[in-house]
Chains A and B, each alone.
Chain A
Amino acid sequence: MNNQPKWAMLIDTTKCVGCHSCRVACQNQNGLDVKESFNRIEEQEFGVFPDFNRRFTPAQCQHCDNPPCIRVCPTGASYKRSDGIVSIDTNKCIGCKYCMVACPYNARVINIKEGYIHKCGFCLELIEDGQAPACVSTCPMGVRVFGDINDPESVISKMLISKKTHRLGESLDTKPSIYYITRK
């Protein structure tokens, strides 16, 4: 067993109603500008009236184990932490935006005031304090489950075994740390 945590998230799109509470909770937690958001929700429609349904898919930095953003960073500002979080040393970031283009999930955002790049960091300051990220704790539908996948007893580890999950853009071999449950 590995004592080092490996943080991951499971997003159950069958529970998401597209309310955007996660987005604004995140903006407040991270002190973001109105136009800066680390979360977005993609809406899709299926079927023909009256046999119809919609799906809301929340998306953000996928904290890839094989992150394309890091490979293109010329200064080493983007880096992978040993706990799985893809982080940005804003001290080293020169705002070149190569990473924004490289990210297949469109997850990186320019800090409007200062010019550096930032994105979802799994609310490190909260998880270090033993709390869930802001987007997880605010969600009344329980769409998001967050936890340590190195701990076989964690809720997320058990759910990854019992539920059929997938990751976004699996063919790209990015190996995201965010897993999804999606009704076909």
Chain B
Amino acid sequence: MTAPWPRRPRARTVDVIVVGAGHSGLAMSCFLSQSAIDHVVLERGEIANSWRQERWDSLRLLTPNWQSRLPGYHYRCDDPNGYMSVPEVIRFIDFYARLICAPVRTGTTVKSVTVAEDDWFRVKTDQGDWRCRAVVIASGAHNVAAVPSMSASLPESVRTLTPKEYRNPGQLDDRGVLVVGASATGLQLADEIHRSGRQVTLAVGEHIRMPRVYRGLDIQSWLDALGILNERYDQVDDIVRARRVPSPQLIGTPERATLDLNTLTRRGVEIVGRLVGIRDGKAQFSGSLRNHCAMADLKLTRLLDRIDAWAEQHGAGTPTGGLERFEATHVQETPRLSLDLVRNKIGTVIWASGFRPDYTWLHVPALDHKGLLRHDGGIVVVPGLYALGLNFMRRRKSSFMHGAADDVRDLGAHLVDYLSDTAGKKVVRAVG
């Protein structure tokens, strides 16, 4: 057997390694190139890999096209209010990589990152090893679907899927589907599967309700105008909680339709409380549904009040006088507390219950007891290690494409300082 090219016996050396060639990693690559910093971007698959491999067919971005922008590049087309489909997102990121001539090594999976005795990082991949002075983790926040352990208690006749595996209703048998989780993902899948003619039950815990359009403008335009997307991680009361908030219940469609629990109820989806257990083949739901819906409605009202106040001050939006309000979320008098999965012919459970990043390859003391990175706005506790694209990492917009530019500017500047501060020490050690 021969390798495609001869393995280099010694590790290659570079100043910075960026892990992941999604929009975040590429945005950082752009910054590093402009700062004349020697770096490579290691990518396990192809550019925009998770968009190619782990998205369902009908998905469109939750943000309008005018927000699709990366440092030095933005959407140029005739529909700034549309929402990119998955193939369009792939083309967008792919084109950006070529535009900035990003030094991407595709098909290169990082196996481990350690700190060596000389304080340099050692990055082992399936395509040879690297030494570098700084590592930027841009491998995403959604690597692994958060499947609760109760999944193991499901009856054998029930199949499970995560949103990463789901493509379209054609994958499912004709039996009913239980969708667990009321984020944008949960609602979109519940809606699509219900439209395919299958009976759908949606388990709803804490959620964020938002209309697609308010007073004639996309809700993202309002969030942008009010500065909500720019809110910083060190300016909110409880950042740990803010980072756990599920994605708002939005969908990108040509009709700019609002998708909320009331829409689903009207169409025939059964809304039940948070899934809290599976016992004797029965799914058990929390009796807290009413409160979760009431909280989401109250938060929505607070947001709309804020928007109205801003609009009045600035004369923006269609002048509805701030009276546009949405009906309270309809909850059945006595929502179902349990569902016999076999008797009710449930064929599939879809875990739309969130995601977490995968750091199994990160062998440095940077993780907390829950396996999450210990960092201050993306500056990881291990010197020279940085993160990008995590939920509310530096700003509320950090995990969005349009959030990359500001974060990369902040962290890139810190990284450049780090490299120059440690340059003398490192070089001497490296030579020695």
Answer yes or no: do A and B interact.
no
Chain B interface residues toward A at CB < 8 A: none
